[in-house]
Chains A and B, each alone.
Chain A
Amino acid sequence: MPAVRLPTVLRSHAGGAAVVVAEGETVADVLSWLEATYPGMAGQLRAPGGEAHRFVNVYVDDDDVRYLDGLATKVGEGTEVTILPAVAGG
């Protein structure tokens, strides 16, 4: 089961945890699991269309999933999923 590192802004929804162990076989599964387990995260991870929110970066191990298979990227035992804010401005 993949470990998920949460950004500080989302930790309050998970009882303050920095890392949680999630369920699922793909990144999309992991995001669904997070939304179902921690309802406060709903709407903060994905846009209405289902893709990752543009203000969020999702990584599997060392790579942004945008450069892998997106939300279809496979995860498993020993995989680390990291969620961080996408930082941009004007």
Chain B
Amino acid sequence: MTGPLLLDRDAYLQLVAHSYDGLPLEACGLLAAEPATGRVSRCYPTENEAASARIYTVPSKAMLLADRDAEERGLVLAGVFHSHTHTTAYPSPTDVAQAPDPAWHYVLVGLGEGAPVVRSYRIVGVTVEEEPIVLV
């Protein structure tokens, strides 16, 4: 196992809330971390431009604004989260094929099993490895 993902409690609550707000569609957003510690301290919920229950797209403009805001705060974009509305919190083949950065955290919020299930992964090439999440 890699990681763990150090995730601020507020960011965690925000990404779970945004996942519910997005129903019945998939919801998504970006995560920013402190470069020195890797601690994810900021969550940027975004629209799902794909407006779909099966796929998501972070709007291009939202990506730019999040990147700039993170930089101003001395943070770096370090991951993305999205919900799976009817399935488990595991990366789909589409998620793996389109994962942009092997250093990123890929956080999945599974809403298909009653209570939300939040898990984090590293995706390097076609290899998916779960990492533990530590709320801080």
Q: Which residues of A contact B (CB under 8 A)?
A: 7-9, 55, 57, 59, 62, 64, 66, 82, 84-90
Contact = CB atoms under 8 A, between A and B. Distances in A.
19 contacts: A7-B101, A8-B101, A8-B103, A9-B100, A9-B103, A57-B64, A59-B60, A66-B60, A85-B63, A86-B60, A87-B28, A87-B58, A87-B98, A88-B50, A88-B56, A88-B57, A88-B98, A90-B95, A90-B98
Q: Is the interface of B mostly helix, strand, loop or mixed?
A: mixed
A84 B67 contact: yes
B74 to A, nearest CB: 13
A8 B60 contact: no
Contacts of A9: 100-103
Interface of B: 28, 30, 50, 54-58, 60-61, 63-64, 67, 76-77, 80, 82, 91-95, 98-103
Contact of B100 (A59, A64, A82, A87): A87
Contact of A87 (B80, B92, B103): B80
A90 B93 CA distance: 8
Contacts of A8: 76-77, 101, 103
Nearest to A67: B60
